[in-house]
C-alpha cells in the first residue's frame, strides 16, 4: 500500500471550516475547448467547500484510506526538518499545490527512493525539478485546465484594476476621502489600447477572448501558433517572440509556464523596450520577471503598474520588495484557487490517483513527465532544463 504525502496551505485564520458563502457551484458541461472535466469514479466532498487547506485534505482521506493507503497532510514544507522532508523519505506519491508549493528539488528527489508520482493539484509543475524527475523515472502530472479560466478572469480583473487605478481609489474611499484628482490622475480607459499575451495556451487564449469586447487591439506570441480561424475571429496580431511583441503593447500579460526559455524573461533589457507607462500583469510564475528589474521600472515610471499573484519563493517573505513597490496590484498566489477551481482540481487529483493506483493510463493531457521524458501537456508547453 502506498504512502501519499500531501502539502496544502494552512487553514483559515478564523478556523476550519469557514462559513459557506454560497450554496453550491454552477454546473459546467466541459472545458471551453471541449476537454472533459475531471471524471473520478466518485467524490467525497461538497463542491464549494474549502478543500485546498490542510483540513480540507482535497477531499481525499476516505478514498485513500478505504483503499488501504496512508495519507499524510501537512503545511510544514520548508527547511531540512520540515514534516514534508521527514515523510518524503518513504513517500510513494507527493501532492502539492502551486499556491503553497512543496519544492521538489533534485536533492529532495534524490532522498525519496520510493517516489513514483508528483501530482500538482492545479496547473504549473515548475516547483518540481523536471530534469530530476525525468532522471529518476518519476511521473509528474497536473490537472490541466482546472483553473485556467479562474486565472484568465483574474488577469482581466487586474488589467482593469491597474489601468483604471481601482485599488488606490478604493483605498481613498475606505479611508473616508473624496480626493478625485488623486484617484483619476493615473486612470485611463482600456478601450483602444494594445494588449498582448506572452503565450496563448488555455489561459492566454481565454484572456484574449475575454478582452476582445473591450475594443482593444490584441497581440500574442507563442511557440505554437493559433489556428488561422481564431486569429481572424479575434483579430489577433502574431509576433515571433516576446521581444518582438512588447514594444507594440500598452498592456502585457504573461501566461507561459516557467522553464528554461521563460525564466527571467522580463529583465531590465526587455522592460526597457516596452512603451513608457505600460502595464505588466504576471499570473504565470514569479521567476519569469526579474524581481529587482520590476521594482526599478515601477520606480522610474517605465512601468505604470505591475500586478500578479505569483512570487518566488512562496510564501514570499514579509520584506519581499514586491509588497511595497509603487503602483502594484499584487496578491498572494490565489487566482487559481477559487472555490470553483478547488472542486475541479480536487476531483482531477482523485482521477489521477485512481488511474495511478488502478494501473490504467493517466490522461495524456494531465501528463508533464512520464516514462523518463516530457509527455502530454508537458511536451507541448515545457522545455527541458527549466
Ligand X SMILES: NC(=O)C1=CN([C@@H]2O[C@H](COP(=O)(O)OP(=O)(O)OC[C@H]3O[C@@H](n4cnc5c(N)ncnc54)[C@H](O)[C@@H]3O)[C@@H](O)[C@H]2O)C=CC1
- Shortest distance, CB of residue 301 to ligand X, whole angstroms? 27
- Per DSSP, the three-state class of 6 is strand
Q: Which of 53, 96, 120, 147 binds ligand X (CB under 6 A)?
A: 147
Q: Closer CB to ligand X, residue 143 or residue 183? A: 143
The single residue of 314, 328, 342, 350 carrying the catalytic annotation is: 314
65 labelled binding-site residue:
no
323 lines the binding site for ligand X (CB under 6 A): no
Q: Closer CB to ligand X, residue 69 or residue 285? A: 285
Q: Closer CB to ligand X, residue 139 or residue 147? A: 147
- Shortest distance, CB of residue 152 to ligand X, whole angstroms? 8
Cell numbers found for residue 14:
478564523
Q: How many CA atoms lie within 13 A of 55 on its CB side?
A: 10
Report the C-alpha gap between 8 and 94 in whole angstroms. Answer: 11
Strand partners, 368: none
- Shortest distance, CB of residue 362 to ligand X, whole angstroms? 16
Q: Closer CB to ligand X, residue 91 or residue 256? A: 256
Cis peptide before 315 (omega within 30 of 0): yes
257 labelled binding-site residue:
yes
283 labelled binding-site residue:
yes
Cell numbers found for residue 41:
469514479
> Pattern of binders to ligand X over 186-225, x per CB under 6 A?
------------xxxxxxx----------------xxxx-
285 included as an active-site residue = yes
363 included as an active-site residue = no
Cα separations in angstroms, 120 against 52, 124, 167: 12, 7, 32
Beta carbons within 10 angstroms of residue 215's beta carbon: 11
Q: Parallel, antiparallel, or unpaired for β 367-370 and 373-374? A: antiparallel
Q: Decide if 150 contacts 269 (C-beta within 8 A).
A: no
- Residue whose Cβ sits closest to ligand X: 201
104 lines the binding site for ligand X (CB under 6 A): no
256 lines the binding site for ligand X (CB under 6 A): yes
149 lines the binding site for ligand X (CB under 6 A): no
250 lines the binding site for ligand X (CB under 6 A): no
27 included as an active-site residue = no
Burial of 81 (0-12, 13-18, 19+ CB in 10 A): exposed
* Among the residue ranges 60-68, 78-86, 253-261, 351-359, the one whose residues contact ligand X (CB under 6 A): 253-261
Residue keyed to cell 502539492:
96
Q: Decide if 282 contacts 198 (C-beta within 8 A).
A: no
What are the DSSP E strand ranges found in the chain?
A: 3-7, 70-74, 93-96, 117-120, 139-142, 194-198, 217-221, 236-238, 251-254, 278-282, 303-308, 367-370, 373-374
State which of positions 335-354 bind ligand X (CB under 6 A): 335-336
State which of positions 27-46 bind ligand X (CB under 6 A): none
Phi first, then psi: give them for residue 139, nearest 5 degrees.
-80, 135
Q: Closer CB to ligand X, residue 204 or residue 329? A: 204
109 labelled binding-site residue:
no
147 included as an active-site residue = yes
Q: Closer CB to ligand X, residue 92 or residue 126? A: 126
Report the C-alpha gap between 111 and 239 in whole angstroms. Answer: 43
Q: Phi-psi bin for 298: left (phi > 0), alpha (psi -120 to 50), beta?
A: alpha
259 labelled binding-site residue:
yes
- Shortest distance, CB of residue 265 to ligand X, whole angstroms? 8
Per the annotation, binding residues for substrate are 123, 147
Per the annotation, binding residues for NAD(+) are 148, 202-203, 222, 257-261, 283, 309, 333-336, 381
**What amino acid positions are annotated as catalytic residues?**
147, 285, 314, 333
Chain residues that interact with ligand X, rule: CB under 6 A: 122-124, 147-148, 151, 198-204, 221-224, 255-258, 261-262, 283-285, 309-310, 333, 335-336, 377, 381
Amino acid at each position: 500500500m502506498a504512502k501519499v504525502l500531501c502539502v496544502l496551505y494552512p487553514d483559515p485564520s478564523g478556523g476550519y471550516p469557514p462559513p459557506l458563502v454560497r450554496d453550491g457551484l454552477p454546473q459546467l458541461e466541459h472545458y471551453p475547448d471541449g476537454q472533459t472535466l475531471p471524471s473520478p469514479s466518485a467524490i467525497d466532498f461538497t463542491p464549494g467547500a474549502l478543500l485546498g487547506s490542510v483540513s480540507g485534505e482535497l477531499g481525499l482521506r476516505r478514498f485513500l484510506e478505504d483503499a488501504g493507503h496512508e495519507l499524510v497532510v501537512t503545511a510544514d514544507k520548508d527547511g531540512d526538518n520540515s514534516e514534508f522532508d521527514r515523510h518524503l523519505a518513504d513517500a510513494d506519491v507527493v501532492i502539492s499545490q502551486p499556491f503553497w508549493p512543496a519544492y521538489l528539488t533534485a536533492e529532495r528527489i534524490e532522498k525519496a527512493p520510493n517516489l513514483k508520482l508528483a501530482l500538482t493539484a492545479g496547473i504549473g509543475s515548475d516547483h518540481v525539478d523536471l530534469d530530476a524527475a525525468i532522471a529518476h523515472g518519476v511521473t509528474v502530472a497536473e490537472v490541466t485546465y482546472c483553473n485556467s479560466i479562474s486565472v484568465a478572469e483574474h488577469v482581466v480583473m487586474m488589467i482593469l484594476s491597474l489601468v483604471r487605478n481601482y485599488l488606490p481609489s478604493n483605498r481613498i474611499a475606505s479611508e473616508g476621502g473624496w480626493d478625485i484628482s488623486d484617484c483619476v490622475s493615473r486612470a485611463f480607459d482600456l478601450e483602444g489600447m494594445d494588449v498582448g499575451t506572452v503565450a496563448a495556451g488555455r489561459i492566454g487564449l481565454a484572456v484574449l477572448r475575454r478582452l476582445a469586447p473591450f475594443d482593444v487591439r490584441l497581440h500574442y506570441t507563442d511557440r505554437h501558433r493559433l489556428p488561422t480561424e481564431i486569429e481572424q475571429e479575434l483579430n489577433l496580431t502574431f509576433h515571433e517572440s516576446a521581444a518582438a511583441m512588447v514594444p507594440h503593447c500598452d498592456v502585457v500579460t504573461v501566461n507561459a509556464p516557467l522553464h528554461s526559455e521563460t525564466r527571467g524573461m522580463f529583465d531590465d533589457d526587455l522592460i526597457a523596450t516596452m512603451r513608457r507607462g505600460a502595464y505588466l500583469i504576471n499570473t504565470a510564475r514569479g521567476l519569469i520577471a526579474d524581481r529587482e528589474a520590476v521594482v526599478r521600472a515601477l520606480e522610474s515610471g517605465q512601468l505604470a503598474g505591475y500586478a500578479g499573484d505569483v512570487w518566488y519563493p512562496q510564501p514570499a517573505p514579509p520584506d519581499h520588495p514586491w509588497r511595497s513597490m509603487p503602483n502594484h496590484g499584487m496578491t498572494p498566489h490565489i487566482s487559481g484557487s477559487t472555490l470553483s477551481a478547488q472542486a475541479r482540481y480536487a476531483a482531477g487529483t482523485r482521477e489521477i490517483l485512481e488511474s495511478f493506483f488502478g494501473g490504467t493510463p493517466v490522461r495524456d493531457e494531465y501528463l508533464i513527465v512520464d516514462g523518463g521524458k516530457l509527455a502530454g501537456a508537458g511536451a507541448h508547453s515545457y522545455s527541458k532544463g527549466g
